[in-house]
Amino acid sequence: MKQGRGSCRAATPPAVLGLVGLRAGGGVPGSASPAEAILSLGGLLVLLIGAWARGHRPALTASWLTLAAGAAALWSAPVPPASSPFFGLILCDPFSLAFRWLALGTLAIVLLLASASRELAAAVRGECYGLLLLLGVGLMLMAEANHLLMAYLAMELVSLSSYVLVGFLRERRSAEAALKYLLFGALSSGIMLFGMSLLFGLTGSLAFPDLQAAVAGTGGPMARALLVAAALMLAGLAFKISMVPFHMWTPDVYEGAPAAVTALLSVGPKAAGLALLLRLLEALAPLWASLSPLLLALTVVTMTLGNLVALVQTNVKRLLAYSTIGQVGYLLIGLAVHTRVGHEALLVYLVAYLFMNLGAFACVVAVMNGTGSEALEAFRGLARRAPGLSLAFAVFLLSLAGIPPLLGFVGKFLLLGSALDAGEVALAVAAAVNSAIALYYYTNIIRLMYFAPPAQAEPLSPSPSPALRLALGSCAAATLALGLWPGPLLELISRLAVVRLL
Amino acid sequence: MTFALLLLAAMVLAGAVWVVTLRNLFRAALSLGVVLLGVAGLFLLLEAEFLAFVQILIYVGAILTLVVFAIMLTARLQGTPGTAASPASRQRVGGALAALALFAVLAGATQPLLWPEAPPAGAVPLAALGQQLVTRLILPFEVISLVFVAAIVGAIAIASGPPGGARPR
Amino acid sequence: MLLTWLLACPLIGMLVVLALPKTAVRAIRAAALLATGFALLLSLELLIAYQPAAAGMQFVERAPWIPPLRIFYHLGVDGISLPLVILTALLGFLACIASYSIAERHKEYFALYLLLEVGMLGTFLALDLFLFYIFWELVLVPMYFLIGIWGGGRREYSAFKFFVYTLAGSLAMLLAILALYFRAHTFDLLELAAAGRTFELGFQQLLFLGFFLGFAVKVPIFPFHTWLPDAHVDAPTPGSVLLAGVLLKMGGYGFFRIAYPICPAAAMGFGGAMACLGVINIVYGAFVAMAQTDFKRLVAYSSVSHMGFVLLGLASLTPEGLQGAMFQMVSHGVVTGAMFLLVGVLYDRTHTRELSAFGGLGARVPVYAGFLIFFSLASLGLPGLSGFIGEFLSLVGAFGVWRWQTVVSLLGIVAAAAYMLQVIQQVLLGPLNERWRELPDMTLREGLSLAPLLLVTLGLGVLPLALLEVQDGALQRLIAHVVGAR
Amino acid sequence: MSVRLILLLSHALFALGVYGVLTRRHAIGLLLSIELILNAAALNFVLFSRAFGHVEAQAFALFIIALAACEAVVGLAIVIGLARHAHTVFADQVDLLKG
Amino acid sequence: MTPALLWIPLLPLAAFALLITCGRRLAPPVAGWVAVAALAASAGATLALAEPVLRGQRLAVRWAWLSAGDPRWALGLAVDGLSWLMLAVVTGVGTMIACYSIGYMRGDPRYPRFFAYLALFCASMLGLVLADHFLLLYACWELVGLCSYLLISFWFEKPAAAAAGRKAFITTRIGDAGLLAGILWLAWAGGTLQFDALAGLRETLSHGLLTAISLLIFLGAVGKSAQVPLHVWLPDAMEGPTPVSALIHAATMVAAGIYLVARTLPLFTPESLQVVLAVGLLTHLAAGTVALTMTDIKRVLAYSTISQLGLMMTALGLGAAALAMFHLTTHACFKALLFLGAGSVIHATHEQELGRLGGLRRAMPWTAAVFLIAAVSMSGVFPLSGFWSKDAILLAAQHDGPPWLLGALLAGAVMTTAYVFRLYLRCFHGAPAPHAGHESPLIMVLPMAVLALGAAAVGLAGSPWLAHPLLHLLGLTQIHAGIDVPILLWSTLAAAAGLWLAWSVGVRRARPLPAALRPLGTRLYTWAANKYYVDEWYQRLIIGPYLAAARGLSRFDLRVIDGAVDGAGLAGRALAVWKERFDRLVVDRLVNGTASAVRLAGAGLRWVQTGIVHQYLLVVVVAVVVVSLVLK
C-alpha cells in the first residue's frame, strides 16, 4: 500500500479526480455546503408538497430533483484540501466529501426503495421523502462536524428523523420499534451530551482543533476525567453505529421499522457515525494510547457478537440487523488500527457496504412486496420464482460474506490488510474467523433460495417494480463491476481518505 | 448566595427524586416542573438570565404542558385515569446500583480536579449571545430549525389517527 | 493472448448460455460443449507451442488491473501449471459430456459449470497472488451451487460443508497473502518468490502456516479432509469428477506455486511434518476406504490416500519426489475422474451406490466391467498405468529423505489393492444379482467420455517421459530455489 | 460560587435521570427522566460558560433546551402512537420484538 | 539381434491387444490359435537367440523411461543364459498350455478373454524375464500378479474364485511392497538398478545394508513363490481354470521368485542366504506334509508346487542358483504336465475330489501314461528329468549345507513321492468311480505328450553325458551335478519309501504307526489337513484386526475428526441449526465438539436480547460505567 500510494502521488491525477472537483482554491465561507442547503430546502419543500398534494408522485419527483440538484452542487463545489467554513463549525475536506457522497448515494437508493415499498402507506409517503432528505442533511453534517455543538445537532437531526421514520407504519411493531429507538437514542445522546458538557468543562473549548490542543499534554486526574468524558461520549456514537454493547436496539428496531427505513438505518447513520467517531478520535488523539485497546476489544466483540447471534435468526430483517452489527465490527477495524491504510480500507468497505447492504434490503423489499412476509422461509425456492432477484440477492450476500470477485471482498481484503499492516494479527485472525462464521447465515439464505423447493411454483407477484429493479440493478452492477475493477475506486479513495493524523 | 445555591440545589434534588420515584405520573410531571424551575434559578445564579427565561418559557411553559397533555391523552386511549399510579419497576435495585455507580464514577473523576472559580464579572452578556447566534452559530441555528420541522411533521405523521383504518395490506 | 482466450472460451460460453432461453436445452448443451471443447483445443495448442527447454514462464500476459494495489492481470504457464491446465481442460470437456445426464435447470447448471471452469483454469494460470486468490474463490461458488442444487443425498449439508471448510482455509490463506503484501508490497508471484527467500524464518513459518491451512483443506490433508467424502458423494457426477480431478489439485498446486517458493526455509523446516501428514493421508485414507460400503465414498477416501503421495513427494524436495507428486496429481485427476464417471454410470442406471447391492455385473455389462477394472487397477497403482508412476516416483523421492515415513506408506499400497479389489469383487464378480438382470451396458456417449481418459492413463503409464519432461525444468528450478535458500 | 458543588449537583441530577430511565415503566415517565439528564447537561454548560466566560457554551445550553423540546414532541407522538397501536404505554410491555 | 529381443514379449502383447479389443468378433478357436501362434513365434524367437547366448553373449537394449538423464530410471531388456533358460521355459510351456487350453476351454462364454489374459500373462512374464533392470522387473512382476488375479477369478461367478483371486493379489502384494522397498533402498544406496551392476555393489555397499536390501527383495520372492508365510494364496488359486494353474501357478509365475533371487544373488549376504535356506526348507517340508493330506487333486498339486518351490529356495539358500534354475526347468515340465493331466481328468469327469475318483486308467490311457511319467520324474527316479535336478540339489546340500540338511531333504523326497503317487494311484487305479471318464481330445493330449517328453528328457541337459550344456548356459564353473552313487542310492531309497507309503497308507489306508503314537499321529494329521491353521491365524491376527481397524478408523473419521474439525471450522454451527434435518449422530458429535460452545454462545446471546427496553438501557448504563472504569 505504501508503495502504491507513493506511485499514485507521483503520477498525474487521473481523470476520475476531476469528478470530485479536487481543485485548488479556497471557497467562500457559507458557500461550501450548498448541497446541504439544497437538500434542506428541498426537504422542506417536499414536506410541503407531501402535505398538500394528492398521491406521492409530486413529492417523489421533487425529492429526485432535490437529490439531483444536491448531487450537482456537491459535484461542482470547489473543495480545497481542507476548509472550515461557518467559523470552523464544519470542516470540508476530502474525507467529509467522501461521506457526503456516501450519504447522497444512500439517500438515492433508499428513495428508490421507499417509493417501491408497499408497506409504507401512500398517505405519509410525502412526509417520508421529506424526512429522508432532512435526515440526509443530518448525515452530511455529522461527517462534516468540527465542533461539539454541530456534532450534537447533526446527530439529533438524524436521530429524531429516524425515530419518526421507524414509527411510520401504523402498527404495533413499528410503534414498538420507534419507542425503543427513541428511548435508547435519547438515553445515549443524553449521556453523550453530558460527556460533552464535561469535556467542555475540562478543556474550555468546543471546536475539535481547540479540543485537540487542550487535551494534548494532560495527565493525572485530568486525563482520567477526560477519559470518563470520552467514555460518556462514546455511548452516543456507539449507539449510532450499533457498536456492542450499545447495539441492543438494532435488531428490534430493524425488525419493526419499514424495510426501506431499515435499509437507511443500516447504512447512513453507520457511515456518518463512523466519520464522526473518527473526527472525535482525532480531537482526542492525545488520549489514543488509552482508547486504542478498548476500541480494538470492542471491534472484536462487535463483529463476533453480531455474527454469532445472526446464526440463529429466522426473520430476514433481524438477520440483516445482526449482520449489520457484524459488518460494523469489520468497519471498526479501519478505525481501530487508526492508520491511513485503515482509513482507506474503511472508506472502501463503506462504499462496498452501501451497495451490498442496500441491495440486500432492496431484495427484502421485493420479497416483502411479493409475499408479504419477512420470514426467512419466504425465500424458500425463490430461485425458481424470481431468478433475477435471487441472483442479485445471492450476489449481495456473497459480497457481504466477502467472496471474491465482489466488492465486499475488496473492502474486507483491505480491512484485514490494514489490521495486519498495523501489526494487529489477533484482530485480523478474529475478523477472518468471523468471516467464516458469517458465511453460514449468508449461505443459509442462498441455500433456501436455490436448494429448497418453493412452497408455490408461480412467479413472484408482483415482480419487482422498475424503481426496485433500478435499485437492485445498480447495486448489483456496482458490487460486481467495482469488485472486478476496483482500481479507480481505490485511486479515488486514496485521495479522499486524508484525515489529519497526529 | 450560597444559601440560595443550597436552597436551589435542595429543590432540584428533591424534585428530581420525585420525578423518578413518584408512582403517580402526573405528580412526577409536576415535580419535573420543580426541577426545571430550580435549574432556572441556578441559571439566574450563574448570571445567565436569558437562559433562565428560556428555560421557564420553553420547558415549563411548553414542554411540561405538552407532557401533561400527553399523559391525559394516553390515559384516555388506555381507558385509565391519568392520575393512576403506575406499578413499580422490577429493576429498581439494578437501576439504583447502576445510577449510583455512574454517579460515583463521575464524581470520582471530576471532584479531584482543581476547578477554576468563576470570575466575578465573567458573565456572558446577552448581546454577545444574540450576536453569536446570528453570526458564528448561524449554522446550528439553521439546523435546529430543520430539527423542529422534522420533529413536528414527524410527530403529526405518527400521532395522527389512521386515515383509513389499518395499513393497506 | 493464448491464455486469455483459454479463459475466455468458457466465459463466453457462459454468457452465451445465459443469453439463451431457458427451454433451449439442446442449444445450451451444445454451447457448453463447444466452449469446453475449444478450451481443450487451446490447451492442446498450448502444449504444442510450449518449449520445455526454455526457462521461466511462457505465454506471459501482464496488464495492470488494480494499479493502486499494484495488482496485475498476470498470466503464464510453466512446467508445473501446464499439465494441470491441460488436465482441467480435458476433464472440463469430458465432464461436460457427462453433464448431458443433468435433468433439470439446464441453463443455470451449464452457466455455473462454465464459470467453474473459468475459475479452475484461472487458478492454474494466474501469476498474481491476488488474481490467484480471486480465481481460487471463484471456483468455490459454482461448485457450491452444483452440489447444492444438482447433488443427491444430503446435498445441502455437503455443499455447505464444502463451502465453509474451503472458505475457512482460504481465509487463513488470505491473511497470509495480506501479511505477505504488506511486507513485500507486491502480489507478483515471481517477485514474491524472490523476496520470500529474504524473509526471516519466523515470518516464513507464519506465512507457510496460513498457506498450508488454505491448501490443506483443498488437498485435503488429514484432518481437514472430512468435507471431501460428503461433497464427493453428494455432488452430481460431473461435479465429483471436477472436484476430485481438478479441485484437489488446486491445493497441491498451491504448495508448488506459492507455499514452497515463497517460504522456502519454512518449507524445508516443515518437511518432516509434511511427510508425516502425507503418510497419514496414505494409510488412513486407505484404511477408511476399506470400510466404506458406498461406492462413491470409497473412491472419495481413496482420493485422500492418493493425495498423500503428493505430499510425500513434495516433502522430499528431490527431483524424483517432486516429479512424482506432480505426476500423481495429473494421474489422480484422470483416474479418479474416470472412477467417478464410472460410479455415475452405474448410479444413473441403478440409483444406488451401495456396494453390497451389486454383484456379478461383470458378465452382464462387460464393457463397463472392462473400464472399471482398468481404472481400478490404475488407481491401485498397477505398473503400466499412470498411477504407478506417480506413486513410485513419490516413494523414490521420499525414500532417501524420509525413510520410515516411506516404508510405512508402503502399507497404503497393499491396502489400496485390498479396497480396490474389494470394489471389483463386490460390483463385478460373484453371482449376478437378479435385480440387475436387465441392466444395459454403457452407451456410446458414456464410452466417449471415458475413452480419452483410458488412453491418457495408459499413455502416461507407458510413456511417462512425455509428461515428466514438460515438468522437469520447472521442478528443477523450484528445488534449486527452495534448497538453495538455506 | 462553588463550581465543584454545582458540578456535584449536575452529576446527581444526571444520575437520578439515569435511575429514572432505568426504573420508570411508563413511557412518558422515561421521557421525564431524560429531561432530567438534559437539564443536567445544560446546567453543566451554563456553569462552565460562566467559569470560562464562553459564549458558545451558553448557546449550547440554549440549543439543548430547544432540542429537548423537539425530543419531547417526537417522544410524546411516539408514545401516543404506541398507545394507539399497541394499546400500552408501559415500556416494559413492549416486547414483541426480541431475540 | 536386438529386434528379436523386443519381439519376444511384444508378440504376445500384440495378441492380447487384438484379443481384448476384437476378440468377441473372432470365432472361438481362432482366438485360441492367435494366442498359440504368438507364443509359438516367441518361442521361435527365443530359439533364434540360443546360439549367441550359448556363446556367452549378453544382448541388451535400453531406453529412457522416467528420466531423460538419470540411468537409474531407464528401461531395458537383456538376455543372458539365466534369462534365456527362463524364456525357453515360459515360451515352451506356455505354447503347450495355450494349445491345451484350446480344447480345455471350449464352450466357455468368455473364451477370447481367456486367451487375451493368457497372452498378457505371457507377455508380462517374458518382460519380467527379459528385464535387465529392477524397474521393469517390478513393473512386470506386478503385471503377472494382475494376470494371475484375472485368471484365478476368471470364473468370477463362483464367489470362491473371486475371493481367491483377490487373496492371491493382496498376499503377493505384501511381498511386492517389500520388493519395492528393497528397490527404493537400492536405488538410493547403490545408485543403480541394473542387474549387471549388482555384482559391483558388493564392494561398495556395507554388509548390513546388503543384508537388509536382499531380505526385502527376498520378501518379494516369498510372496510370488508362495513361500511360508505368504504361501496361503496358492492353494486357493486353484479355483482358476486348470491350464492357468499349470502355467502360472506351477511352471512360470511362481517360479519368478526363484528367478528373482537367482538373478540378484550377488546382493545376498551369507546371513540372508541363511534366511533363504530356512524359509525354503520350512516351506518344502511343511507343504509336503500338507500335500499328503489334501483330497482335492489340484490342492495336492498346489501344495506340491509350494513344496518344490521350497526345494528350489533351499538350493538358492545354498548359493546354488544354477541348481535352483535347473530344478525350476524340470519342475516346470513335470508339474505343468501333472496339472494338465489333472485338468484332463477334471475336464472329463467334472470332479476333482480324490474320494470320488478312481480307475481312470482304462478310460484315459494317455492321460494316465503322461501322469505317470510326470509322477516318476518328480519322484526323482533315474534317469528322468526330476532325478537330475533333485540329485544335484541333494549333492549340493551334502557338500555345502549342514549335515542334517541332506536328511531333511530326503524326508522331503519321501513325501514328494508319497503324495504324487497317492494321487496317481487313487485317480487312475483302484475301483472305477461313478464318473466314467473319457480320453481328452487330441488338442489336449498332444501338448501333454510333448511335455511328457520334456519331463522325461529335459533333465539330461544337466547330466554329465551331455557335458553340462545347461551349466554352461548359466555360466557356472563350479558344479555339483553329476552322478554321485551314494546320493543316487539314497534318493532311490527315498522314492521307494515314498511309493510304499503312498500305496499302503494313501491307498490301502494301512496304519503304519504303533498304537502308542497314534493320537500324536492323528493330531499331526489333523494339523496338516487343516494346513496348520495358517489361514485361520491370519484371519484372526491380520485380516480381522485390519478390517476392525478400517471400520474403527472410519467411525473415528465420521465422529471424531469430522466432529472436531466441524467444531473448529464452525461448520458444526450449521449442523446444530439443521438438527431436525440430520441424523442424531451429527448432533451427538456437536455436543462434544467445540461447536457446541459456539452454538451456546449464539443462543445465549440471543437470550440476552429480551426485547424489554429497560434491560437494554441498563446494559447501556452499565457499559458506560464499565468503559469509564476500564479506560486508563
Radius of gyration from C-alpha coordinates of chain E: 31
Average of per-residue pLDDT values in chain A: 84
* Distance from C-alpha of A165 to C-alpha of A121, rounded to nearest angstrom: 12
In sequence order, the β-bridge partners of residue A145 are A90
Per-residue confidence (pLDDT) for residue B83, from 0 to 100: 57
Per-residue confidence (pLDDT) for residue B48, from 0 to 100: 86
Chain E's closest residue to B96, CA to CA, is E618
From the list A327, A332, A375, the residue with the least C-alpha distance to A355 is: A327
A87 touches chain D (CB under 8 A): no
Q: Where are the beta strands (DSSP E) in E38-79?
A: 59-64, 74-79
- The nearest CA of chain E is from the CA of B96 a distance in Å of 10
Mutation for testing the A interface, residue in B124, B138, B147 having most A CBs under 10 Å: B147
Residues of chain E short of pLDDT 50, as ranges, are 1, 568-594
Per-residue confidence (pLDDT) for residue C41, from 0 to 100: 94
* Distance from C-alpha of D64 to C-alpha of D78, rounded to nearest angstrom: 20
- Interface ipTM: 0.86
Q: Are C148 and A447 a contacting pair at CB < 8 A? A: yes
What cell numbers appear for B48 in the block?
A: 445567565
E403 touches chain D (CB under 8 A): no
* Distance from C-alpha of A402 to C-alpha of C400, rounded to nearest angstrom: 44
CATH assignment of D3-85? 1.10.287.3510
| Contact between C225 and C304 (Cβ < 8 Å) | yes
Parse chain D into domains and list their residue ranges: 3-85
pLDDT band at A272 (very low <50, low <70, confident <90, very high): very high
Chain C's closest residue to E543, CA to CA, is C418
Is pLDDT at A314 greater than 90 in this prediction? no
Question: Position E431: which residue type?
Answer: A
In sequence order, the β-bridge partners of residue C63 are C73
Mutation for testing the D interface, residue in E609, E613, E622, E628 having most D CBs under 10 Å: E613
Q: Are B154 and A131 a contacting pair at CB < 8 A? A: yes
pLDDT band at A419 (very low <50, low <70, confident <90, very high): very high
Is pLDDT at C486 greater than 70 in this prediction? no
Chains A, E: CB contacts under 8 A, how many?
A: 85
Per-residue confidence (pLDDT) for residue B120, from 0 to 100: 65
Helix/strand/coil for E219:
helix
Phi-psi region of E226 (alpha: psi -120 to 50; beta: other; left: phi over 0): left
Provide mean pLDDT across the span B157-162: 73
Q: Are D92 and E614 a contacting pair at CB < 8 A? A: yes
Q: pLDDT tens for residues D25-84?
A: 888 888 999 999 999 999 999 988 888 888 888 889 999 999 999 999 999 998 888 888
* Distance from C-alpha of E251 to C-alpha of E266, rounded to nearest angstrom: 25
C148 touches chain A (CB under 8 A): yes
Per-residue confidence (pLDDT) for residue C86, from 0 to 100: 94
Q: Are E617 and D22 a contacting pair at CB < 8 A? A: yes
pTM: 0.89
Chains B, D: CB contacts under 8 A, how many?
A: 252
Helix/strand/coil for C360:
coil
- Can you tell me which residue has the cell 479536487? A22
Is pLDDT at C76 greater than 80 in this prediction? yes
Per-residue confidence (pLDDT) for residue C432, from 0 to 100: 85
Per-residue confidence (pLDDT) for residue A9, from 0 to 100: 35
- The nearest CA of chain A is from the CA of D81 a distance in Å of 6
H/E element, A257:
none
Chain A's closest residue to B138, CA to CA, is A86
Q: pLDDT tens for residues C275-325?
A: 999 999 999 888 888 888 899 999 999 999 999 999 999 999 888 899 999
| Contact between A174 and A63 (Cβ < 8 Å) | no
Provide mean pLDDT across the span C240-263: 92
When CB atoms are compared, the residue of D23, D92, D99 closest to E613 is D92
Q: Which residues of chain A have a CB within 8 Å of the CB of E609?
A: 248, 251-252, 309
Mutation for testing the D interface, residue in B2, B13, B19 having most D CBs under 10 Å: B19
**Angle formed at CA C233 by CA C227 and CA C239, multiple of 5 degrees:** 90
| Contact between A179 and D82 (Cβ < 8 Å) | yes
E169 touches chain C (CB under 8 A): yes
Query: Cα-flanking dihedrals φ and ψ of residue A17, to 5°?
Result: -70, -25
Per-residue confidence (pLDDT) for residue E535, from 0 to 100: 83
Chains adjacent to B (≥3 CB pairs closer than 8 angstroms): A, D, E
When CB atoms are compared, the residue of E157, E547, E571 closest to C430 is E157
When CB atoms are compared, the residue of A417, A439, A451 closest to C182 is A417
In sequence order, the β-bridge partners of residue E76 are E62
- The nearest CA of chain A is from the CA of B169 a distance in Å of 7
Q: Are E606 and A433 a contacting pair at CB < 8 A? A: no
* Distance from C-alpha of C342 to C-alpha of C372, rounded to nearest angstrom: 7
Per-residue confidence (pLDDT) for residue A21, from 0 to 100: 33
Q: pLDDT tens for residues A439-480?
A: 888 888 898 898 888 878 788 877 888 889 999 999 999 999
* Distance from C-alpha of B66 to C-alpha of D35, rounded to nearest angstrom: 13
Q: Are E618 and B89 a contacting pair at CB < 8 A? A: no
D25 touches chain A (CB under 8 A): no
Q: In Å, what is the CA distance from E591 to each residue of A307, B161, C342, C399, E585?
A: 21, 53, 38, 43, 10
Q: Are E628 and B105 a contacting pair at CB < 8 A? A: yes
Question: Position A412: which residue type?
Answer: K
Mutation for testing the A interface, residue in C175, C180, C185, C209 having most A CBs under 10 Å: C175
- The nearest CA of chain D is from the CA of B70 a distance in Å of 6
- What is the distance of C-alpha B169 from the center of its chain? 40
Is the peptide bond between C220 and the residue preceding it cis, with omega within 30 degrees of 0? Answer: yes
D62 touches chain A (CB under 8 A): no
Chains adjacent to C (≥3 CB pairs closer than 8 angstroms): A, E
pLDDT band at B166 (very low <50, low <70, confident <90, very high): very low
Q: Which residues of chain B have a CB within 8 Å of the CB of A90?
A: 139
Q: Which residues are CB-contacts of C408 (< 8 A; sequence separation ≥ 6)?
A: C279, C283
When CB atoms are compared, the residue of D56, D81, D96 closest to A178 is D81
| Contact between E588 and C249 (Cβ < 8 Å) | no
When CB atoms are compared, the residue of B150, B168, B169 closest to A161 is B150
Per-residue confidence (pLDDT) for residue E57, from 0 to 100: 78
- The nearest CA of chain A is from the CA of B74 a distance in Å of 14
Sign of CA dihedral C466, C468, C471, C473: negative
Average of per-residue pLDDT values in chain B: 82
C18 touches chain A (CB under 8 A): no
Q: Are D22 and E613 a contacting pair at CB < 8 A? A: no
* Distance from C-alpha of B64 to C-alpha of C389, rounded to nearest angstrom: 91
Provide mean pLDDT across the span A237-264: 90
pLDDT band at B40 (very low <50, low <70, confident <90, very high): very high
Per-residue confidence (pLDDT) for residue D1, from 0 to 100: 55
Average of per-residue pLDDT values in chain D: 87
Per-residue confidence (pLDDT) for residue C89, from 0 to 100: 94
Is pLDDT at A13 greater than 50 in this prediction? no
Q: What is the DSSP string of A210-241?
A: HHHHHHTT--HHHHHHHHHHHHHHHHHHHHHT
Q: pLDDT tens for residues B98-135?
A: 999 999 999 988 888 877 776 666 677 888 888 888 78
Chain D's closest residue to A193, CA to CA, is D41
What cell numbers appear for C70 in the block?
A: 499494484
- Can you tell me which residue has the cell 479556497? A26
Phi-psi region of E475 (alpha: psi -120 to 50; beta: other; left: phi over 0): left
Least confident piece of the model among B51-65, C366-380, C429-443, E508-522? E508-522
Q: Are B91 and E614 a contacting pair at CB < 8 A? A: yes
Per-residue confidence (pLDDT) for residue E476, from 0 to 100: 59
Is pLDDT at C407 greater than 70 in this prediction? yes
From the list C148, C299, C208, the residue with the least C-alpha distance to C485 is: C208
Q: Are E162 and C383 a contacting pair at CB < 8 A? A: no
Per-residue confidence (pLDDT) for residue E598, from 0 to 100: 63
Q: What is the DSSP string of A339-395?
A: SHHHHHHHHHHHHHHHHHHHHHHHHHHHHHHHHS--BGGGGTTHHHH-HHHHHHHHH
Q: Are E624 and A232 a contacting pair at CB < 8 A? A: yes
Per-residue confidence (pLDDT) for residue B13, from 0 to 100: 92
